[in-house]
């Protein structure tokens, strides 16, 4: 096995990430469109109930967009070398979550035609929704090419420590662990088994953990040969 391998998202992962980002942007665009509609049509004492309904809809769209965006980033992460791009790509959900509500919040509290009750109820709900959207959009542990590269090389080091000198492991399309032995009972007989390098298993499926059964077997095999 090569000593150092650099993570690179597979074409399949990049394609899926692109689709997820498109859906995320659509959700945010609709959310902002709903906000504009609420600003124009619903900021009044008579339509407070519908204003609250609009706030809830905007929140659902904003949170959905953030979820999809984060999922895309885990498939195709940014590099930490470009600090600005890395920050924007990973925290765009928080930025869009706030933007989906901030103008609305400001206009609710500054509208002179609204009475205190409407401002208090609708304004408070809008502020809470903005905070929820913003916080849910924050990625507190953002993925990066460097983190994934480190993970891959740590797993390669684990195999080296187990005296496994072949960079060929096995995984399934639904599994979350890779296997050293093709006859491991967790995957034996299954038709959806793929094999390749640890790097490939990470790039295609995000798998970064060795099967405990395979690890135990490898440790026993290593101790016998020693």
Q: What is the pLDDT of residue 212?
A: 92
- Cβ count within 10 A of residue 192: 10
Count of beta carbons in the 10 Å neighbourhood of residue 55: 26
The predicted pLDDT at position 198 comes to: 87
Q: State whether residue 59 is helix, strand or coil.
A: helix
Angle at 127 between CA 122 and CA 132, to 5 degrees: 125
pLDDT of res. 1: 45
DSSP state of 181: -
Tell me the angle at which helices 83-99 and 11-37 cross, rounded to the nearest 10 degrees.
30
Closest CA to 159 of 178, 146, 186: 178
Q: What local confidence, expressed as pLDDT, does residue 167 receive?
A: 79
Is 73 buried (19+), middle (13-18) or exposed (0-12) by CB count in 10 A? buried
d(CA 122, CA 42): 11
Q: What is the largest CA-CA distance in the chain?
A: 84
DSSP state of 79: P
Q: What are phi and psi of 169, to 5 degrees?
A: -125, 175
Q: What is the DSSP string of 3-25?
A: S-------HHHHHHHHHHHHHHH
Confidence at residue 204, expressed as pLDDT on a 0 to 100 scale: 80
- Mapping DSSP to helix (H, G, I), strand (E, B) and coil, where does residue 192 land? coil
- Rounded Cα–Cα distance for residues 104 and 213 (Å): 55
| 90 within 8 A of 142, measured Cβ to Cβ | yes
What is the predicted pLDDT for the residue at 189? 85
d(CA 133, CA 163): 48
* Per-block mean pLDDT, blocks of 10 residues, the chain (226 long): 75 93 98 98 95 98 98 95 96 97 97 94 97 97 93 87 82 89 90 88 84 89 60
């Amino acid at each position: 096995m090569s000593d150092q391998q650099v993570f690179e998202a597979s074409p399949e992962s990049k394609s899926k990430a692109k689709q997820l980002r498109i859906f995320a942007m659509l959700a945010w665009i609709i959310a902002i469109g709903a906000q504009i509609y609420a600003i124009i049509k619903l900021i009044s004492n008579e339509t407070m109930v519908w204003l609250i309904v609009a706030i809830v809809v905007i929140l659902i769209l904003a949170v959905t967009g953030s979820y999809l965006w984060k999922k895309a980033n885990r498939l195709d992460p940014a590099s930490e070398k470009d600090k600005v791009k890395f920050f924007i790509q990973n925290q765009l959900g928080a930025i869009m979550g706030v933007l989906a509500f901030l103008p609305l919040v400001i206009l609710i509290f500054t509208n002179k035609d609204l009475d205190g009750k409407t401002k208090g109820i609708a304004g408070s709900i809008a502020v809470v929704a903005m905070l929820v959207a913003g916080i849910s959009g924050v990625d507190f542990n953002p993925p990066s090419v460097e983190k994934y590269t480190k993970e891959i090389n740590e797993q390669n080091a684990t195999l080296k420590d187990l005296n496994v000198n072949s960079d060929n492991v096995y995984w399934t399309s639904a599994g979350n662990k890779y296997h050293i032995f093709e006859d491991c009972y967790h995957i034996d007989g299954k038709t959806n088994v793929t094999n390749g390098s640890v790097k490939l298993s990470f790039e295609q499926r995000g798998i970064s953990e060795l099967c405990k059964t395979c690890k135990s077997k490898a440790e026993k095999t290593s101790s016998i040969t020693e």
